[in-house]
Chain A
């Protein structure tokens, strides 16, 4: 019944390194892209969901490169998003840089800061690095609150314009995000199979062993932090243009933990992980927002627990996933595929 091979029959490096292994996946990916391109048609005014997913997926891809592929734990990813967002706000606002140039520039600002933050990562590792990034997160929040917008940290952002067009409305923003999202996702998927990606994974598995093999630890750790910050900065810039008013509340430690939750739920060492995770987390947040009022009308005593419900559900799902399926959604899908491959005689 199945036209797929019953095992790995790769007969060349090209096949082995392919991101989409079989025709099924290649057609599936094309269909997915087509569906995303046509999304405004079938999602209507709920297109904001995909825009949000796209922005978070871009940020999460960066964190996946850093944490999943290089093994450096960061609890301050939202700080880089904030840096990107505020940079792009200042660039497009006060400095009149066009939108198309401002977003990459914001990413580059974040890249520079990320690489700078990485400098101590030669000395401090693992737990200590996580704590340092946590402290960085709080200090960035504090600096922004006190440096911008008279002690509130709020700043308004000009509507993005490309050439003569001023882009207003959900759909225009969606296509911008989608373009960057696809580009960023494909770039990351390709990066991890190049020399750089292999070096990053070597650093993850055993940093000193990697150094003995001739990998410049400082350069690659700085690169990983920089890349992660670059992705976060781009996501922040897009978020700023999308929301038009940014405050530090968008970029707190909660957001950082959400990012970590995304890559863990999605699957740490899969190129699909951050996208799955971002979609799952966004869908879950929005779903809870829709479900909660209904639940409250059914059981009024439930009302008090409604606000922190998101925290409880998130915590529960994270713990359950880490205990039973540390590979995340990507691994679940792979297991499902393996099960279906051999169905109905799975032995």
Chain B
């Protein structure tokens, strides 16, 4: 039992670090644009599909690099073509537009490459590795490492670069930032590009681990659970939420899945969402929204 829990913890943290990366993009997008991006899972799928499609012609690192560039361009395009005309529209319109966007991205990707599971060519050493007596897939270690590295890079970006500071300013208070000369349009565009890139990296990492198929799109919902748990507009919350969802899913979900009722692992995220919304709708670290008449 202790071994099960410890193994679940380690594996859960590895998956959770990927969720955290995806959730980070989600939370950042919400924080700076107030858009709940229900197409986030499809952006993950976009990354995984495009990377695996490109590895047929190109060496793996180049393929990943091009995927990230493409994801960034997709983010810019989405902001310019779809989101800018809808600025200031009611919540419902924006939610539906992101859903429609997800439809299009998934449709094109699945249309081009089919829905079956495909594996990346082995670019990283496979097999398992033992950490302190616990067996974990080697891919998991690399994924967690990459995710952590990227989280660090993103943190440095937001801490020190001018664009990053402008984005934080806009997220903090759009009107004030705008008055101080921050271009909201550019911030929104960067936020979309950034979210798309983070999602694409998540897609590649998950693809390396589990293979790429159309189910990659549902990862967005796990990121959603992570963000709800951490608080929709909290970046550290998204990271912690991602890790927590990963661990909960592999330990509690895995246990119930194996012993009580089949398939529970996939539903854990939604149980978490409902419980959090009932008890603490603004999440662990989110800003509590006080409504006035």
A residues within 8 A CB of B104?
311-312, 315-316, 319
Specify the chain B residue showing the minimal Cβ separation from A207. B291
Binds A, one of B161-169, B186-194, B262-270: B262-270
- A62 to chain B: closest CB distance in Å? 16
The answer to whether B36 touches A132 (Cβ under 8 A) is: no
Interface residue? B277 (CB, 8 A): yes
If the complex has contacts A123-B281, A305-B112, are A312 and B103 also in contact, measured as CB distance less than 8 A?
yes
**In the docked arrangement, what's the CA distance between A223 and B101, Å?**
32
A146 near B: Cβ within 8 Å?
Answer: yes
Which of B103, B112, B221 contacts A315, CB < 8 Å? Answer: B103
Q: In the bound complex, do residue A308 and residue B110 qualify as a contact, i.e. CB atoms below 8 Å apart? A: yes
Q: When A308-B106, A326-B93 are in contact, do A315 and B101 touch as well, CB less than 8 Å?
A: yes
Within the complex, the shortest CB–CB distance from A65 to chain B, in Å, comes to 14
**Chain B: minimal CB distance from A108 (Å):** 24
Chain A proximity of B106: nearest CB distance (Å): 6
CB of B111 within 8 A of CB of A261, answer no
Q: Which of B87-138 contact A (CB under 8 A)?
A: 89, 91-93, 95-97, 99-104, 106-108, 110-112, 114
Q: Which of A128, A139, A306, A315 contacts B281 (CB 8 A)?
A: A128
Q: Within 8 Å of chain B (Cβ to Cβ): is A323? A: yes
Q: Is the pair A130, B95 in contact by a Cβ cutoff of 8 Å?
A: yes
A311 to B228, CA, bound (A): 27
CB <8 Å contact, B262 and A146:
yes
The answer to whether B100 touches A309, judged by C-beta atoms less than 8 angstroms apart, is: no
Q: In the bound complex, do residue B86 and residue A142 qualify as a contact, i.e. CB atoms below 8 Å apart?
A: no
B2: interface (CB < 8 Å)? no
List A contacts of B59 (CB < 8 A): none
Closest to B282 in A: A128
Q: Does B224 contact A (CB under 8 A)?
A: yes
* B293: interface (CB < 8 Å): yes
B195 interface hit (Cβ, 8 Å):
no
Task: List chain B residues, Cβ under 8 A from A314.
Answer: 100, 103
Q: Are A127 and B36 in contact (CB under 8 A)?
A: yes
- Residues 123-148 of A, flagged 1 when their CB comes within 8 A of B and 0 if not, give 11011101110111011001001100
The reply to whether B274 and A135 contact each other, CB–CB distance below 8 Å, is yes
In the complex formed, the residue of A with least CB distance to B30 is A127
Within 8 A of B (CB), among A151-166: 151
A101 CA / B106 CA spacing, docked (Å): 42
B271 within 8 A of A: yes
**Chain A 286-328: CB-based contact to B (< 8 A → 1; otherwise 0):** 0000000000000000001111111110111011001100100
> Residue on B with the closest CB to A71?
B92
In the complex, which residues of chain B have a beta carbon less than 8 angstroms from the beta carbon of A261?
96, 100
15 pairs from A and B in contact (CB 8 Å cutoff): A73-B95, A123-B281, A124-B281, A126-B91, A128-B228, A128-B277, A130-B91, A131-B273, A132-B274, A134-B270, A146-B261, A304-B114, A308-B108, A311-B103, A319-B104
In the A-B complex, the 6 residue pairs with the closest CB atoms = A315-B103, A311-B107, A305-B111, A308-B107, A315-B104, A312-B107
Residues of A within 8 A of B (CB): 67, 73, 75, 120, 123-124, 126-128, 130-132, 134-136, 138-139, 142, 145-146, 151, 206, 208-209, 212, 257, 260-261, 264, 268, 304-312, 314-316, 318-319, 322-323, 326
Sample of 18 further A-B pairs with CB below 8 A, known A260-B99, A316-B100:
A124-B277, A124-B281, A135-B270, A139-B267, A142-B263, A142-B267, A146-B261, A260-B96, A264-B96, A304-B111, A308-B106, A308-B110, A312-B107, A318-B99, A318-B100, A319-B82, A319-B101, A326-B89
